[in-house]
Structure 1
């Protein structure tokens, strides 16, 4: 069963809000901007994470210093899964945030 556009937008909105909450609750100095469905996180060292929605593909895209990643929503697990590596978004973010922001954060709720 394919993901409806409305459900897709609800899932991305919830994911982006969850990300904002996690970073707000952390001690990291991160500037956040959410505009036009794109969430940009800027770390103190100038590196960025950019989360953008791709409605036509029903994907959430992540641009990081280590590359660009495309995530499909896996209804069975209730998680976003990378279409090329099968790594879960929450697992990848632990690694990427440690690399770019120098902090260990938990993203289990995503």
Structure 2
């Protein structure tokens, strides 16, 4: 994948996270504060816990830090997959956000 292709796909992922937060805030009582600074989105939950998603441009990866740990994702041609076999990004983000918010939350591309 070229650097431009990576940036296009990674930017689309960050935008999807922002849009999902807006939808979740409209449809639930989760009250997720999301802030984007450059290639990083920080989700802050009502209990003040955070999930941070940031781009690692030199590695062409997306990293996520949550209470459950730190995770690295590479684009496999169809979706962002965990580099250690832990699954697809949005599925994993949904699990981590559900755990941290204390209610079911769904993120998708």
Q: TM-score, normalised by structure 1?
A: 0.89
Q: Distance between the aligned counterparts of 2:48 and 2:22, measured in 1?
A: 18
Deviation at 1:83, TM superposition (A): 0.2
RMSD over aligned Cα, in angstroms?
A: 1.2
Deviation at 1:94, TM superposition (A): 2.1
Which among 4, 9, 16 is matched to residue 6 of structure 1? 4
Deviation at 1:105, TM superposition (A): 2.5
Q: Distance between the aligned counterparts of 1:103 and 1:4, measured in 2?
A: 38
Structure 1 residue runs of 4 or more that deviate by more than 2 Å after TM superposition = none
SS at structure 2 position matched to 1:56: helix
Who is 2:63 aligned against?
61
Deviation at 1:74, TM superposition (A): 1.1
Q: Distance between the aligned counterparts of 1:74 and 1:37, measured in 2?
A: 20
5+ long unaligned stretches in structure 1? none
Q: Distance between the aligned counterparts of 1:32 and 1:94, measured in 2?
A: 15
Deviation at 1:102, TM superposition (A): 1.7
Who is 1:104 aligned against?
104
Q: Distance between the aligned counterparts of 1:79 and 1:103, measured in 2?
A: 25
Who is 1:25 aligned against?
23
Q: TM-score, normalised by structure 2?
A: 0.90
Deviation at 1:106, TM superposition (A): 2.6
Q: Distance between the aligned counterparts of 2:45 and 2:31, measured in 1?
A: 6
